[in-house]
Every structure is written in C-alpha cells, then in structure tokens.
Structure 1
C-alpha cells in the first residue's frame, strides 16, 4: 500500500478488502455473496492478468486478501501467486488458492509459489469461512506488529536524537570541566608542578589543581568524587569554585581577611559541613589538601579518605606518607588530621586518585600501590616528564585505550629556593 511517509505503518482499514479471481461468473457471485455476509469488501476479476494489473495500480494497493482459482485460462493460480508476490507492496496480503487438486505434490507447488492456504473444490462454505477467518487473524496480527514496530522505530529514533544531543552536551561539559583545572604545568621559584586528569567517560568525578597562598607558598588539592557521571562532574565544578585560583574570598581555604589560610584539616572540616548542610545528596568525596613552602620544601597536608601521597626522594626511593582519615561528606562532626613532611632538593610529592592503583590489566590484576611506587621510583627528571611517564605506564599496564576509572594525579618536584624561610599561617 502506498504511504505518505516511508516509516509510517499502513492505516487501519474499516473492512478487509478481498480480491476474487475466478473465470467462472457464477463462482465469483457465490463467493462474493459469502464474503459480503462476512463484512468483507469484495472486488472481482475474471482472470489473473486483470488481477495482476489491478494489484499494480493504486486502486489495488489496499487489497489485503486474494482468493484465486487454480485452473484458469492463460496464467493459472500458482503463476499468478508467484507474480503477485514479486510486486513491490508495503504490506502483506493473504493468498488462498481454490483447487480440486488433492495431490500433495500439487499443493507443494502452490506453497512454493507463495500461497498461504488452500480451499478444496467443490467448496465447503463452512471451511471457506474458517480459512478466511484464519487469514483475517493473521493479517490483524501483522497489522498490530507493524504498528508496534513503528512505535519501536519512532522511540529508537527519538532516543537516538536524545542520545546525540546528550553527547553534544557532555562534550561541552567536558570542555568546561577541563577548564576547572589550572594550567597543567607550572613553575614556582625553581620547583615545578604538573597535573593530569584523564576521565574514563566524557566527564568524570576527579579534580586536581593548585592556588597561590603567598609569594612562596602554594595550595595543592586532589579530589575524587564518589560515583561517575553528571552528578559527580557537577560537584567537581562546585569544588573547583571553592578552591578558586582567582578569588581568595571565594576560596574556602582562606580566612575572611583574604590573606591567611585555615590549616588543611580545618578546611576539610569546613568542606564536610558544607557538604552535609548544602548538598542534599549521598555523594561524598575523598581528598588531599597540601600547603607547600617553595622555599623550605615543607609540605603540610590533610588526607581525607584519599590514597596515601607518595614522596619520591632524589635517590629514587619512594615513601608513603599520611594518616588516612575519613572521606568528606559522609558524617557530621568528623575530625581530620594534618601531616607535615619535608622535601629535599630533587624530591617529588605525588597525590593521586585510586584510579591509578586500581588500574587493571587484561587479566584483571590491579597495579596497586606497590606497582605505582615502582613506577614512581623510575620517573625521569621534571614534573611534566614524570607525569607523562606514569600515564604511559598505566596505559601499557591496562592494555586498552580507555581506563575503567578516572585517572588524576598531581606531582610537585621541589628544587632549592633562594627565598627566606617562612611558615604557614596559623590555623
């Protein structure tokens, strides 16, 4: 049947249209009488050639059932059926052959030609009605299936459109998320710092960054928000604003005077209160917040459920530092601790998300902390080159292009500074 839209199912018909093909006028009239009483729309032709021509036109496009004699002058019933099945039609028509043949091999010829059913002559009207009703049920099921397929197709098309739009939005969100991170590489009076964030999807829940405290001090943070996806990414955006590079008044680490900073453990307590009072969500995060004196090499940091920071000494030995601590945003009134470590010239301080230690190879074996420490012991000089080498080693270990979890790390490499020694502001 010709449709106005290629993906639309055929419109439902009030009455099934049946084409009777028989060279006997009396047989046509008898069949028409029976079919009209069954509330069918009947069309009659005297031979297969007329029937085939009719079915090739728009007028015959809505024929849903054919009742054809087997023996006819010119083209017989099976040949007509075969030609009918070769027509380009949008919907299926049920084809019944009327025959006096009882030989099974003869009926097989009709089935191979495309017939759906047979009625034996002389006609038994009860059998005829039963065969036609069987065809009607099959056509009804086919019509229902076509409409259901159309619904599925429309739904899939809508979902594809929605998915494409979401992909575009996520791509933009990724650009915005990467904008949360300061310059990936930075130099501080001889020391250098390198950041790396590789999301497992288009957006992720990890965040790394830094902010200036004074001419000789910097703040470093590494954050891993629970879960994945949009909610986690939105929280990283909010946290990035709380550790603003440009505005000390917006930065949660600074006191109201905009000069002095809270101790790292106090900042974590403030973040914990913020999460529980303003974020109506089950999301929490782990973090390390460190204050580094670029002159003395002293690092004061708070570890809140995050993996233990690592220090790679100039002699290539690696130390694990930190006292653990609870994640941020789980329970009210949590206490956080602070740790102080000393960096010497040539030492490197690494803080990272668990995506590194939980990076699995194709066998499912994780890199774990020992493996990361081995990687860190072999890093080249320079923070950026060191971070590049760790990422390359992770990709080699995983054996795939994409990681199963977000990968984030921050590496600070300390070198001798000439500025005078200054301590951190009191907490």
Structure 2
C-alpha cells in the first residue's frame, strides 16, 4: 500500500501554491479592510540617465556612469466595473525561486475617474517591489496611487554593492516622485503628486529619512559600507545635492525599521531638519536597525510631529513584509526573511494598514477625522474597553478602531516639534 500511495503522489501534477497577500483577519482594526475601489496594477520602467555606477566605480577615481533603469509596480483605483483579482510573479529572498502571489489588483485595468494622492513604497536591502504589495493594494483601494519601487543593486535577483543602496536610495525615491508627477496617458491623468506620501522599510526607511531632509553626519560612516569617491558627502547636512532632492510635495513619511542611526549615519543635527510629519514603525527586538537606535531617531526628529508604533517582542520584520510564500517554507533562512518569531505576519500587516491609512488620510487628504486614530493611550494594554449600546462611555480609553481584546503588545507614542 505504501508503494501505491507513493506512485499516486508521483503521478499527481504539481499544484500551484496559494500565496494570498490580501487577507484581512476578523480581528483586524477598523481601517485595515480594503476600501471601495477595485484596484488596477501596471508595471512601468523609468530611467535615471547618466548617474554614477557605484558598483563598477573605484576609489582610484575611475567613476563610471550609466543609465539606471528602475522598475515600478503602480497600483491605482480602477474603473467602475473592473473585475477584481490577479497574480504577481516574484522572486524570493534566495534570488532564484519564484512564487506566484495572489491579490486583488486587475492587471492593466483602466483607471477610475478622479484624482488621487500619490504614495511611494520603498523596500529594504534586499527586497523587491512586491514585498509590501499588501500595503500598496490596500491603499489603492482607498483612493491612492501607490508606486512600489524596485531599487537596482538592491533586489533579491540583483544584489549589488551596499554602497549603491546608501547613495542611490533617496535619489531613486525623489526620481520616481518626479516621474509619477509628470506621467502622461490615462494613468497620469489620475495622479495627484502635490501631496505625496512615502513608506520605506529598513534601507527604504534610511532613504525616506534622507529624502525627508535628514542630511548625513559628515565622515562618521564605517568604511566597509561607503561607496567610492566620497559620494555620500553629497547627502550630508548642508550639501547641494541634498537640497536638490528636497521636495515640498512630500507631505507624510512612514519609516519602518529605518536603518542607519545604529551605524552613525546621522546625528541630531541632521535628523532635526526633517519637517515632514513622520510615523516610525518598529519591533522592540529589532537587531538589524537596533530598536534603541530607532528610538533615538524618534527622539532626535525634533522639527516635526512624529509617532512611534512599536510591536512589542517583534524583530526587524515587524509589519512590512508580506506573509512568507509557501515556497519559502522549505528553507529557514528564506522563511525568516519574511516571518517573525513572535507575531503573525497577517496581523502585523493589518495593523500597519490601519495606521498608515489613518496617517495618510490625515496628511494627504486632510481628513481630520483620522486624527483620533492617532491620539491613543501610549501602551495598548493600559486602555479600558467600556462600550454601551455600541458607543464609548466616558471610561472608554481603548485604542480607537481596535476590537475588544485585540489591542495587545502594542505601544504608540507621539512627540510634538520642539
């Protein structure tokens, strides 16, 4: 019988793995579920011309240049009547295995009528434009155009010198904002880049802080990280290039597990120059960017109102990565790139979707009703749930939008500008 069972298994065609990125748990907070819009998606390529090729340049002064092609997955509200649902083919962390992800976006659908704020999404090192597709789809369903960037030299299938990421990350973000703002055709007609949001994870968070105004600390960088030719000096406090990429259209920044303060890339002088509303998201056990260093960023960004959302017990994968695809489950190292030892990934994603929705609605759409979702008892476990006939009583201090008993192991802090 064992031989028969084995023969049947070998004769059965391989079944494609199901890897949904769009799941909303029953206990998800109020703003996590998808919005009213069906979502469309298109893949686009933009070219940054004549930039320094960090990977192939040398300290001896041989600074080569090239045209830097950047692939962007653009998610957007789709035209009425569009049938929801589609797939994405994405490389996993090993740079070789491909997985099919399932979501709600319809490939190349016609866009909806109207005008929608822009949100840029920037992955870590390494990563790719699909790593936070759960958030990109979710925001698009709520009336945003989201542009999720593949950063060359920094994707799973294209890992180059780390110095390229350090130099190019904020400049890629700035360039894609420009490209989306000047986009033509039917899709360009719905993009409102006048108030743009930015979500960056890990090295995406590093770039997001620089793009938001945090010039680097001169000369404080470990040598093994830095690109040749003293290129990072272009991003230091007071540098001309930093001033060139400063953009008044950037109106809200979310930095998830931002890397760099733990390696001396900023001082308070640089971080205090950020004047864009800022939300920082982190795991209290982050051992990549360093939770204490992330808290220092929170303390030192004194030029703006900022929030710090902490997932107690989570590590560096807090909130940002999609759930680990089934193809990743056979390799602990690949699986560990997406998962957390303590938290369920879908739950972390849903909480992030909730808070990013409130934050972007407030600052990009001027929806003042969302401010109360960010005015919370600092430690979620200290909140009192006291509802009567579906309405909060005067004793109710539970986190707004969270079902009873669901706001656990979370902390939300706010600091005003000094």
Structure number with larger C-alpha Rg: 1
TM over 0.5: no
Q: TM-score range by the shorter chain?
A: under 0.3
The structure that is helix-richer by fraction is 1
Per the normalisation by structure 1, the TM-score is 0.25
Per the normalisation by structure 2, the TM-score is 0.25
